[in-house]
């Protein structure tokens, strides 16, 4: 599944773990920053001015990292300002592609693969060709391909152009949001991958323990609460949600994270359903792409590529308990 760009040349490969049998996620290569006026980003990153229809967002409905950006885009009401392309769910030797299929939205530049967009931006690019990608149509460059940074940009960059007034990274809550994000990223968002792609038993067991330790911590934290931080929707919720939505359908079985289902953790389950039923969020959930991608693409884990029929998941109409009675 997938591959890597080496000096601009695409090389197919299917290796996830290092010599110790641990999964290594590579850092994102493009770290520009979208701002209202084009000023540099918070850490001095190159600034790009927010303008309607200047940028294009490349995503996969299957990918939890890209899913974050789709949720922010919908919550901010900037769908017309920021159009998207959607990859095919199946990732094989060419990585993410725009092959014809239900839900696929082709690349307007005509590239058939996502790595073609990376090569378009930089003919000597190195690294993985991942989603999401925030593309600048004006300069024909990749602004950023790091999901955590893209959602932080989107929460404010388009406010002067008519975006909805939602701030998912408010000043008063930033330190607590950062603290939650740090643990959730390493042990939950990335934790499921560390467990699923582990190639040694000891490594797998270590990562599963870290994952469920954090899930138990989150279960306790959400007792009587609808949100993780400050009783308001923040980026911490969005970052956790996209992993929870995939957990029982994919990570529980496919990645062997089968200690407990989210459905059996009352507070996390209630919390997940409450967020998933927001109209803006509900329209971004595509379980067919999610299951088709993981089970069909990861042949080192699932050699036949058979996609299971179950489990039956209902994010929309199952009874939602009160926070105090979960």
Q: Annotated binding residue at 309?
A: no
One-letter-per-residue 3-state SS of 154-215: HCCCCHHHCCCCCCCCCHHHHHHHHHHHHHHHHHHHCHHHHHHCCCCHHHHHHHHHHHHHHH
Cβ–Cβ < 8 Å for 207, 191: yes
130 is in an annotated binding site: yes
128 is in an annotated binding site: yes
Catalytic: which of 55, 61, 63, 271? 63
Is 96 annotated in a binding site? The answer is yes
Handedness of CA 272, 210, 67, 36 (dihedral sign): positive
282 is in an annotated binding site: no
Is residue 193 among the annotated active site residues?
A: yes
> What CA–CA distance (Å, rounded) separates 116 from 94?
10
d(CA 97, CA 31): 23
Cα gap 278→100, rounded to integer Å: 29
Confirm or deny that 147 is annotated as ligand binding: yes
CB 198 within 8 A of CB 19: no
Determine which one of 58, 118, 193, 294 is catalytic.
193
Residue position matching structure tokens 């990859």: 87
Q: Which residues, in sequence order, are CB contacts of 188 under 8 Å at separation 6+?
A: 211, 214, 215, 218, 240, 243
Which DSSP symbol is given to 97?
B
Distance, in Å, from the CA atom of 229 to the CA atom of 214, rounded to the nearest integer, reads: 16
252 is catalytic: no
3-state helix, strand, coil in the chain (%, to 5): 40, 10, 50
What DSSP line would sit under 69-81, residue for residue?
HHHHHHHTT-TTT
For residues 189 and 21, what is the distance between their CA atoms, to the nearest angstrom? 19
Neighbour-count burial of 106, counting CB atoms closer than 10 A to its CB (0-12 exposed, 13-18 middle, 19+ buried): middle
CA-nearest of 226, 277, 272 to 249 is 272
Q: Which residues are catalytic?
A: 63, 193
Which positions make up the binding site for glutathione? 96, 128-131, 146-147
């Amino acid at each position: 599944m997938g591959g890597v760009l080496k000096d601009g040349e695409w090389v197919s490969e299917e290796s996830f773990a290092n010599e110790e049998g641990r999964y290594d996620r590579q850092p994102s290569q493009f770290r520009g920053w979208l701002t209202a006026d084009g000023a540099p980003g918070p850490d001095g990153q190159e600034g790009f001015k927010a303008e309607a229809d200047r940028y294009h967002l490349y995503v996969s409905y299957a990918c939890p990292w890209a899913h974050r950006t789709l949720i922010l885009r919908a919550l901010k009401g900037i769908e017309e300002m920021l159009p998207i392309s959607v990859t095919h769910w199946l990732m094989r030797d060419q990585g993410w592609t725009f092959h014809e299929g239900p839900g696929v939205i082709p690349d307007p530049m005509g590239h058939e693969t996502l790595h073609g967009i990376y090569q378009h931006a930089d003919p000597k690019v190195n690294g993985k060709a991942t989603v999401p990608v925030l593309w600048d149509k004006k300069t024909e460059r990749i602004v950023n391909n790091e999901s955590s940074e893209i959602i932080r940009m989107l929460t404010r960059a388009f406010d002067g152009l008519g975006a909805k007034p939602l701030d998912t990274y408010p000043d008063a809550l930033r330190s607590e949001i950062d603290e939650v994000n740090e643990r959730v990223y390493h042990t939950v968002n990335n934790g499921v991958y560390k467990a699923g792609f582990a190639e040694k038993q000891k490594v797998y067991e270590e990562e599963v323990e870290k994952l469920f330790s954090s899930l138990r911590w989150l279960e306790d934290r959400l007792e009587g609460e609808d949100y993780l931080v400050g009783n308001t929707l923040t980026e911490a919720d969005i970052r956790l949600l996209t992993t929870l939505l995939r957990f029982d359908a994919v990570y529980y079985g496919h990645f062997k994270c089968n200690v407990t289902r989210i459905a059996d953790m009352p507070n996390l389950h209630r919390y997940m359903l409450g967020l998933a039923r927001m109209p803006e969020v509900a329209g971004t959930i595509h379980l067919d792409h999610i299951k088709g991608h993981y089970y069909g693409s990861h042949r080192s884990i699932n050699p036949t590529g058979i996609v299971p029929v179950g489990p039956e998941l209902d994010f929309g109409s199952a009874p939602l308990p009160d926070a105090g009675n979960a």
